C-alpha cells in the first residue's frame, strides 16, 4: 500500500473507540484520511484514548440507534469510506441481554446502511465494509468454515451478527450499494480491554502475579488473528469494492489454524516468564458458546492478496509486553 493512499478522503468509522476500531482509525489516519467517529459513550479506559486518537479524529455525538443523527452525520461529512464496527461484542452479555444486542447489532446496521442509501446518486461513498463474525456460521460438523457455508447460528450474539451480515448483502444486491462483509477470526493484540476474553484476562492476571483462570476445560479451539492483520483485511476488502462484481461478497479472514484455549494461556504464561499454572475451572465448553471454530481464508488470499503477517507466539509476546506496561 502506497503512502497516503487515502489522503484527502473521509472515512466514517463506527465503533472506533473499541479494540479493532481504534487500530483501524489509527491506520486510516496514517494513510492521510480524515476519520469521523460517531460516539455515544466515552469509555474510561480504551486504546482510542490512550493513544490520543480522540485528538486526531472528528468526534460527533451520534448513536447508531438514532437513525436521524446517523443520517445527519453521513449527510454532513459525505464519507468516501464507511466501516461499520459498532456492536455489542460480548457473548456473555448477549446471552444475558439479547434485546440490547439485537438492537445494537441489527438495527444499528440497517440505520447506517439506510443513511448511505438515502444519499442516492450524489453519494460519494465508494466502499462500505460491515463487520460480521465467524460466529455467524454457527456450529458445523465440517471445518474450517468457508464463505459458502450456511449461516445457522443459535445463540443471540451469533444470530445478531448473521442478521447484520444478511442485511449488508441485501443492500448491496437490492440497492447496488458498494457493500462487503468481513467474517473474522478471534482477534487479539494490544488494546483489548474486554476482560471476558481470554487474552486480556490472562495477561492481567499474570501481571498481577495471579494464576490465570480458564472458565472452560481448556479444549475449545479458536482461530486467533492479530488485530493489525485484521485491519489490513478490512482495507483490502474496502479497496476491492472498486470492482462492482465484488460487491455483496463476504470474506473470511483468519490465521486458518485452530488453537486450543489452554494453549493460548500457556503461551502467554511463557511470554510473561512467570511460574503461574492456569487455574482450569470448567468442565467443557461454556454455555452459549461453540466448541470448535476456524476459518478457511483461501478466497481473500487468492483474490485480494491478503495474508496474515504475525505469528501467534510473536504476537502474544508483544501483546503481553503491552499489557504489562498498562496494567503495571
171 noted as active-site residue: no
Contacts of 288 (CB under 8 A, 6+ apart): 91, 92, 94, 95, 155, 156
Task: Tell me how crowded residue 39 is: count the other CB atoms within 10 A of its CB.
Answer: 19
User: What residues form DSSP beta bridges with 11?
Assistant: 35, 81
Task: Tell me how crowded residue 309 is: count the other CB atoms within 10 A of its CB.
Answer: 11
Query: Shortest CA distance to 262 belongs to which of 285, 289, 228, 294?
Result: 285
- Determine how β-strand 186-188 pairs with β-strand 81-84: unpaired
Cβ pair 86, 64 in contact under 8 A: yes
Q: Dig out the grid coordinates for 187 from the structure.
A: 482477534
Q: Which of 6, 155, 157, 323 is catalytic?
A: 157
Length of the chain equals 328
Place of cell 467443557: 284
DSSP string, 23-59: HHHHHHHHTT-EEEEEES---SS-HHHHTTGGGTSEE
**179: left (phi > 0), else alpha (psi -120 to 50), else beta?**
beta
Distance CA 186, CA 207 (A): 22
Burial 100-126 (b: 16+ CB within 10 A, else e): ebbebbbbbbbbbbbbbbebeeebebe
Cβ pair 67, 115 in contact under 8 A: yes
Catalytic residues, by residue number, are: 157
Amino acid at each position: 500500500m502506497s503512502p497516503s493512499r487515502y489522503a484527502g478522503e473521509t472515512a466514517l468509522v463506527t465503533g472506533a473507540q473499541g479494540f479493532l476500531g481504534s487500530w483501524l482509525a489509527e491506520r486510516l489516519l496514517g494513510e492521510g484520511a480524515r476519520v469521523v467517529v460517531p460516539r455515544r459513550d466515552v469509555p474510561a479506559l480504551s486504546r482510542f484514548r490512550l493513544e490520543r486518537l480522540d485528538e486526531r479524529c472528528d468526534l460527533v455525538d451520534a448513536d447508531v440507534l438514532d437513525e436521524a443523527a446517523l443520517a445527519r452525520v453521513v449527510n454532513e461529512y459525505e464519507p468516501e469510506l464507511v466501516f461499520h464496527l459498532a456492536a455489542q461484542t460480548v457473548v456473555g452479555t448477549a446471552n444475558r441481554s439479547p434485546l440490547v444486542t439485537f438492537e445494537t447489532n441489527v438495527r444499528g446496521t440497517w440505520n447506517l446502511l439506510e443513511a448511505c442509501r438515502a444519499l442516492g446518486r450524489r453519494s460519494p461513498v465508494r466502499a462500505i465494509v460491515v463487520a460480521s463474525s465467524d460466529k455467524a456460521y454457527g456450529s458445523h460438523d465440517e471445518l474450517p468454515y468457508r464463505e459458502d457455508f450456511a449461516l445457522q447460528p443459535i445463540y443471540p450474539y451469533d444470530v445478531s451478527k448473521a442478521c447484520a451480515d444478511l442485511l449488508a448483502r441485501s443492500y448491496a444486491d437490492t440497492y447496488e450499494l458498494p457493500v462487503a462483509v468481513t467474517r473474522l477470526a478471534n482477534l487479539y493484540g494490544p488494546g483489548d480491554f474486554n476482560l471476558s476474553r481470554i487474552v486480556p484476562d490472562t495477561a492481567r492476571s499474570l501481571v498481577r502475579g495471579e494464576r490465570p483462570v480458564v472458565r472452560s476445560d481448556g479444549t475449545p479451539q479458536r482461530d486467533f488473528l492479530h488485530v493489525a492483520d485484521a485491519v489490513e483485511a478490512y482495507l483490502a476488502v474496502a479497496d476491492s469494492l472498486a470492482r462492482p462484481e465484488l460487491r455483496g461478497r463476504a470474506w473470511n479472514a483468519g490465521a486458518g489454524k485452530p488453537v486450543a484455549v489452554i494453549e493460548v494461556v500457556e503461551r502467554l504464561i511463557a511470554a510473561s516468564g512467570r511460574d503461574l499454572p492456569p487455574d482450569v475451572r470448567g468442565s467443557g465448553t461454556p454455555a452459549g458458546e461453540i466448541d470448535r471454530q476456524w476459518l478457511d481464508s483461501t478466497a481473500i488470499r487468492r483474490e485480494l492478496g491478503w495474508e496474515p503477517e504475525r505469528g501467534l507466539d510473536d504476537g502474544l509476546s508483544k501483546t503481553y509486553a503491552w499489557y504489562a506496561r498498562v496494567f503495571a
